[in-house]
Amino acid sequence: MTKQDYLKLLVESIHSTTIATIGADSHPQTRVIDMMLWDEQGVYFLTAKGKAFYAQLMEQGFIALSATKDKISISLRGKIRNIGSEKLDEIFEKNTYMQSIYPGDTRSALEVFCLYEADGEYFDISDPAHIVRDSFTIGKAAQEAPGYYVGEGCIGCKLCYSVCPQKCIDITKKPVVIDQHRCLHCGRCAETCPKQVIEKEGLTMNQSEKRLFLIQSLLNERPSCQKQIIPADSERQNILLRGLMNVRRPVRIGADFLQVQDAYLQDETAAKGITDIADLTPIQPGLYLWQGDITTLKCDAIVNAANSGMTGCYIPNHRCIDNAIHTFAGVELRLTCEQLMEQQGYPEPTGQAKITPALICPAAMCCIRSVRSSAVE
């Protein structure tokens, strides 16, 4: 089946979908919305301008939807745009029940939205012993289907096949090949592989989802912040995330948080651009002059100007170097410093230093040097 087949099925056969946005309380909110039209540009739906749903669509510009009928489902997640009254008359002509809901000129309360760039998935379990899965896109180049893939190093032991619910692994080849159109994404093959060469691709969170996960996890640690509204735009989310990291006490946190945090910060640092000292020209042997973001510098060690408490700046989004390094090295840097200071038993004298791993920063080590007495922490 083609993208056109899937969109036609969604609009003309299933029709009613569940759309998710982020509500005013910063939690997911769903409602049932009919898909009215489809064409090469995407799929179209509408809502009234006075509804909270309309405001969320305008502010967020992104939705996720799912629809199912007769054990066949279609899911889409992607970008939307408001096209006003364009296609409104066509929608009413093809969906005549709308003429009774909004008779006459009352349809002027409505505006049309187009889901124009999205990742989609088709999933058919009408024959449970032989499921069918397919991926497609709207408005952008097709990508490799998300799923589990077998890499080099496969020894052909067939253990993955023995635990696969759908027996969708071709064991006549080496490496064995997983049929992505029949895979349930249960992950049993990856768990069983003795060589650990089966990896999932395209099933992980994107940067926006990672950021929201980190924010919500940090808010959950603070009972006073349970009703904190998470902003819809990425800029304000970044400010909130950094602030929450800045004020967090030096205590342990779950491995799931650290895994997401590490991946998120690595991608953020890569997006800023990493400067390798090997690519710089020294002004004299062993001496380099460089101006830039110290958290992006790949070298043996970076030096942090800290207070005598050595656990970093606790002022949310402060512009000091201490704050920047503790933010982009991750929350474990503060814990590492706290453990060193507990072992020492007294504040770090001015001019003295401690050496720690730089963690998520591209430098190998971090030299934390006390340059002032500790402020309130």
Domains of the chain: 3-138 (2.30.110.10), 147-201 (3.30.70.20), 207-272 (no CATH), 275-372 (3.40.220.10)
- Name which of 90, 113, 127 is nearest 44 in CA terms: 113
Which one is predicted more confidently, 175 or 224? Answer: 175
Cα dihedral: 11, 16, 17, 21 (round 10)? 110
pLDDT the model gives residue 313: 94
pLDDT score recorded for residue 375: 45
Q: What is the pLDDT of residues 329-364, one digit of tens each?
A: 999 999 999 999 999 999 999 999 999 999 999 998
Which region holds residue 23: left if phi is over 0, alpha if psi is between -120 and 50, else beta? beta
- pLDDT for residue 178 is more than 90: yes
- Give every CB contact of residue 230 below 8 A, 6+ residues apart in sequence: 22, 26, 212, 215, 216, 219, 237, 240
Identify the residue with better confidence: 101 or 203: 101
Q: What mean pLDDT is reported for the chain?
A: 91
Label residue 245 exposed, middle or buried (CB < 10 Å: 0-12, 13-18, 19+): buried
pLDDT value of residue 377: 39
pLDDT one-digit tens code per residue, 41-86: 999 999 999 999 999 999 999 999 999 999 999 999 999 999 999 9
Q: What pLDDT digit, counting tens, does each position of 129-146 carry?
A: 999 999 999 997 566 667
Q: How far is CA 354 from CA 57, 175, 375, in A?
A: 49, 48, 18
Residue 196 Ramachandran class (φ > 0 left, ψ -120 to 50 alpha, else beta):
left
Q: With H, G, I as helix, E, B as strand and everything else as coil, classify residue 252.
A: coil
pLDDT digits (tens, 9 = 90+) for 284-312: 998 999 999 999 999 999 999 998 999 99
How much is the pLDDT for 26? 74
Phi, psi of 365 (to 5 degrees): -135, 165
Q: Is the pLDDT of residue 203 over 80?
A: no
Side chain identity at 141, as an amino acid letter? A
In angstroms, the Cα distances linking 332 to 128, 252, 261, 344, 359 are 45, 8, 10, 18, 8
Which stretches of 166-299 are assigned E, i.e. beta strand?
169-170, 177-178, 198-201, 275-276, 297-298
Q: Distances in Å between the alpha carbon of 165 and those of 131, 177, 184, 190, 243?
A: 10, 15, 8, 13, 45
